[in-house]
A and B are shown apart, each in its own frame.
Chain A
Amino acid sequence: MNGFRAALALAAALLLSACYPPTTSHPVGTTVGLTLDPALTGLWENAVVANPDERGLYFHFLPTLDGKLTVLMVQSGDKPDADWNVVELTTVKLGANRFMNARLTMSDGKPDEGAPKGTIPLLYRIDAKDRMTLFLMDEKAVKAAILAGKIKGTIEKGDMGDAVITADPAALDKFMQTPAGLALFAKPTLLKKME
């Protein structure tokens, strides 16, 4: 399991999945403008590790000069060979909801060449107690939505085939604000802001 998958698995219960989470060809939110959410800046830790064999994960959200975020994810725990990964992130507020667009850039110090070309959309919410809930898209639900024609996309062959939402930016942003679009986000992971 590569580092990013391990990290996301911890973050989004993808341990049993052999494929990447659904991606979009265009980042979510380009029609309204991607703006950095300053509330994310700092150090976060996943608050709940369901399986004792799983490792915790630190998330460092670092703003960059071009309005993006660099996220360093480092596994915690006292076992050797912790994975660490680097993700480039953009954020946007669409209606009442906040989204991230994530793209893996590095795993354990090496460029990740196996990462999908698009970006991975995540829905997130931050409460008053500095807790953030991250939602990844549910792969089966995304595939069903594509097959039902609710959103334009492609599905690779096989049970493990990756799903890519290929809708244009306007259609994508409109869809992501509908109940049908928001319903695709599941697999919540709770993070707690440490500093």
Chain B
Amino acid sequence: MRSLRLALAAFAALSLSACVAVKEPIGTSAGYVNDPALEGLWRGKSSDDGPEGYYHVILNDDRTMTVVGIVPKTPDKKASWGTLELTTVMLGANRYLNARETGEDGGPPKDKDAAGSIPLYYTISGDTLSLFTFDEKKVTQAIRAGRIAGRIDSSKVGSMTIDTVSITADGPQLDAWLKSPDAPALFEPVMTLHR
């Protein structure tokens, strides 16, 4: 199941490296509207050496979207599949989605940490969908500069110091911040999919 976890993790920006927590999903003040440009079958790799996964994006009638993700088998890993729930919103000219893992190989997600909503910025150019996650360093700078309410918690693991970055701004504040034309610069690429 790890291959799918990694693929979905990448799709949802749950990368094993740093991530930025948010108090509320992006777009709560604006209202979610499904983006029809996302609908259909997308393919992409979550890592350079992994198999190409398939991601079916289905528009539901309740302003949510369902992603059925499939990672084919490889010589050393069995095939796996899972589902995500997405909400999408446009803030200014910027497109965002919130992804939440809802299923894994026909059952509930095995990783309890995957239950949260993961915010992503995305662009669609032709048949290419690019997904971006918060850049931890840039968000840290923004918090320290007072541009957005947040918190950086440092903890020691052995000789290493690990920072956990949390945006504590409420929904309207977060949405107002991410509406800016400069907001996409706060994100870094995480995965590219193609039709």
Contacts and interface: CB of A to CB of B under 8 A. Distances in A.
Interface stretch (B18-26, B66-74, B153-161, B182-190): B66-74
Secondary structure at chain A's binding surface: helix, strand, loop or mixed?
strand
Interface in A94-118: 105-106, 108-109
Contacts of B66: 84, 108-109
A193 interface: no
A80 B60 contact: yes
A81 B70 contact: no
Interface string A8-20: 0000000000000
A80 B68 CA distance: 14
Nearest to B69: A72
Interface stretch (A61-69, A159-167, A171-179, A183-191): A61-69
B92 interface: no
Contacts, number: 63
B58 A70 contact: no
B106 A106 contact: yes
A65 B103 contact: no
A116 to B, nearest CB: 19
A81 B54 contact: no
Given A78-B40, A86-B106, A109-B102, A42 B72 contact: yes
Contacts of B59: 80-82
Secondary structure at chain B's binding surface: helix, strand, loop or mixed?
strand
A43 B54 contact: yes
Contacts of B78: 63-65
B96 interface: no
Report the contact-size class of chain B (Cβ under 8 Å from the partner): 20 to 34
Name the residue in B34, B68, B73 with the highest tally of chain A Cβ atoms < 10 Å from its Cβ.
B68
Nearest to A69: B79
Given A78-B36, A78-B39, A62 B79 contact: yes
Contact of A72 (B39, B73, B81): B81
Interface of A: 41-43, 58, 60, 62-65, 70, 72, 74-76, 78, 80-82, 84, 86, 105-106, 108-109
What 10 pairs between A and B have smallest CB-CB spacing? A62-B79, A80-B59, A74-B56, A82-B58, A60-B70, A84-B68, A81-B61, A74-B68, A65-B78, A72-B81
10 contacts: A60-B54, A64-B78, A65-B78, A78-B39, A78-B40, A80-B39, A82-B59, A84-B56, A105-B106, A109-B83
